[in-house]
Amino acid sequence: MRVKSMKTMVLQVLPNFALARRAVNFPRLFISYHSNLQIQAIQVLLVREQRTFLQVSTIKQSALSPLMHGVKRIRYTQEALEALKQREKAKLKEFQALTEEVLTKKKAGDYSKDAFDSTTRLLRVNPEFYTVWNYRRNIMIHGIFPQCSPAEINDQLSEDLSMTTAFLKQHPKVYWIWNHRRWCLENVPDGPSEDDINADSRNFHAWDYRRYVLATMPVPRTELSELAFTTKKIEANFSNFSAWHQRSKLLSNLWESGKLDSSKSKEDEFELVLNAIYTDPEDQSAWIYHAWLIGNGNDASILNREIKAIQELLDEQPDSKWCMESLVRYKRMLLKNHGGSLSLDEKQRLYEECSSLLTQLQEVDPQRRRRYQEIAESLEH
């Protein structure tokens, strides 16, 4: 069963429409399956505030397929279902009690070690509870740190970094966990540091966090060493868009500051990105980086050289959408930026080639047919 139909069922059985509309906006729905192909929604957990549990009645689904996502349904005995239901109720009751305990201590302004330990227990159950993360930080600032030495503060923050590392293995895209790691680094007595700065290869949260850590390290890491890091990541996986993006930021700074010869460096970059493009012509990451290197197309010699290289690839991969799109883009740049140096025959040839490529793109990429038609129409004016 898909989530949409399940939400519809929740709306149908909840007597209070306002509560129902609120309930279906939260992701966690605890359900059990009956052997007679009924579904019973046992509890709806409101994740954002963690305060309300709504009882939901049994929902009949006579037409429900015996297969769920290609996996055969397990038929439980009534006794097993009842035991499962009781275990779920016990867990929910325990979670509700712990939530109430923590929120009561928060309301009372309790900044004790006992309150701190309670937030740890609750966050282990639900690390997405941002209110508890905020309360935890207030406990550290107002209750724990004033009584600690710098070394003890560092130890506590290290423990929190280790805890969030464990959480991120299960929840790598939860903002509140990343925010707490950042806060921990900001409050290290001797300045932020991290022993092993190594980002998840494609998680943009991890790369953003990496940039933050590098920017705040007591002994900054050189841009050239970071450039080498992106090279390593790109060579391991050409489709690592985050690494290409990081590389573009680093090179912009290095070229602007004069720490790197832009002319020679760009030639090396073209060689790297063309290697990636030839390896996987259908991967978007390298094509975007290639377009960044081309820029506004002010250098006609580079444009002509890259057009020739991409045309050679298109000859081998005649249905490559990205080859065709790039050729149209760069040939239009030639016409726009360097038309004055082209003969009428050369201009006409470029127009005809662009028109032909756009016609092919409409067949290869029909979902963007209208876009290609508009580009073709613009060539006629």
Radius of gyration in angstroms for the set of CA atoms belonging to the chain, rounded to a whole number: 29
Q: What is the pTM of this model?
A: 0.54
Q: How far apart are CA 13 and CA 3, in angstroms?
A: 16
pLDDT confidence band for 356 (50 / 70 / 90): very high
Average pLDDT, integer, range 115-128: 92
Cβ contact 279:247 at 8 Å: no
- The packing angle between helices 175-186 and 204-216, to 10°, is 10
pLDDT confidence band for 70 (50 / 70 / 90): low
Q: What is the mean pLDDT of the chain?
A: 79
Cα 214 off chain centre by:
20
- The packing angle between helices 344-364 and 369-379, to 10°, is 170
Q: Within 10 Å of residue 7's Cβ, how many Cβ atoms?
A: 16
Cβ contact 176:130 at 8 Å: yes
Cβ contact 23:45 at 8 Å: no
In order of their start, the domains of the chain are 3-75 (no CATH), 82-190 (1.25.40)
Instruction: Encode pLDDT of 128-148 as tens digits.
Output: 999 999 999 999 999 998 888
Cβ contact 343:332 at 8 Å: no
pLDDT for 61: 39
pLDDT confidence band for 239 (50 / 70 / 90): confident
**Is the pLDDT confidence value at 359 over 50?**
yes
